[in-house]
Amino acid sequence: MVNKVYKVTSDKTASGGSKHNQILMSIVVCLPILAYGTAMGWISPNKALLMGDSSPSDPPVSEEDVSWMASIMFIFAPIAVFIYGVAADKFGRKNALLCASVPISLGWAVKLICAHPIALIGARALIGFGSGGAFVVCPLYVKEISEDSIRGMTGTFVIFSQTAGNLLVFVLGDLLPFQTVLWILLAIPLIHFCIFLRLPETPSYLVKCGRNEETAKVLGWLRSVPPTDKSITEEVDRLIIEQTTSELKFSPRLLITDKTALKAFWVALIVNLTREFCGCIAVLVYASHIFAEASKDPATSIALSPNKQSILLAAVQIVGSFMACQLVDRVGRKPLLAVTSVVAGCSMCLLGTWFYLPRGALAGWVPIAALCTCIFADASGLQPLPFVIMTEMFSFQLRGTVATLIMAISLGTDFALLKLFAPLNTWIGYHSTFWIFSVICLSNVFYLIFCVPETKMRSLEDIYADLEGRKKKKTESVVETNYV
CA distance linking residue 340 with residue 320, whole number of Å? 10
CATH number of residue 290's parent domain: 1.20.1250.20
Predicted pLDDT at 234: 86
Same domain as 445, residue 315: yes
Judge contact between 103 and 91, C-beta under 8 A: no
CA distance linking residue 44 with residue 304, whole number of Å? 14
SS3 for 383? coil
Same domain as 182, residue 263: no
* Domain carrying residue 87: 19-199
Predicted pLDDT at 360: 67
Same domain as 260, residue 186: no
Same domain as 189, residue 106: yes
Same domain as 189, residue 270: no
pLDDT tens by residue, 290-342: 666 666 655 554 556 666 777 787 888 888 878 877 777 777 788 888 999 99
Judge contact between 458 and 452, C-beta under 8 A: no
pTM across the whole model: 0.74
Same domain as 180, residue 266: no
CA distance linking residue 449 with residue 270, whole number of Å? 13
Predicted pLDDT at 31: 93
Phi, psi of 358, deg, nearest 5: -60, 145
Split into its structural domains, the chain has a count of 2
The radius of gyration of the chain from alpha carbons, rounded to an integer in Å, stands at: 23
Read off the DSSP letter of residue 150.
G
Answer whether residue 242 is part of any domain: no
Work out the burial of residue 450: count CB atoms within 10 Å of its CB; fewer than 13 is exposed, 13-18 middle, 19 or more buried. Answer: exposed
Same domain as 263, residue 147: no
- Long-range contacts at 113-117 (CB < 8 A, ≥ 24 apart): 115/50, 115/55, 115/56, 115/57, 115/58, 116/57, 116/58, 117/57, 117/59, 117/61, 117/62, 117/65
Same domain as 366, residue 273: yes
Judge contact between 46 and 69, C-beta under 8 A: no
CA distance linking residue 458 with residue 17, whole number of Å? 22
Work out the burial of residue 295: count CB atoms within 10 Å of its CB; fewer than 13 is exposed, 13-18 middle, 19 or more buried. Answer: middle
Answer whether residue 31 is part of any domain: yes
Q: Give which of 40, 61, 70 is closest to 173, Cα–Cα.
A: 40
Predicted pLDDT at 56: 84
Answer whether residue 300 is part of any domain: yes
Same domain as 23, residue 169: yes
Same domain as 193, residue 281: no
How many beta carbons lie within 10 A of that of residue 397, not counting itself? 22
* Residue segments in the chain with a per-residue pLDDT below the cut of 50: 1-15, 301, 472-484
Predicted pLDDT at 483: 34
CA distance linking residue 130 with residue 73, whole number of Å? 9
Burial annotation 309-336 (CB, 10 A radius, 16+ → b, else e): bbbbbbbbbbbbbbbbbebbbeebbbbb
Predicted pLDDT at 343: 92
H helices of 258-364, in order, are 259-277, 280-296, 306-331, 333-356
Of 160, 184, 199, the residue at which a domain comes to its end is 199
Same domain as 427, residue 298: yes
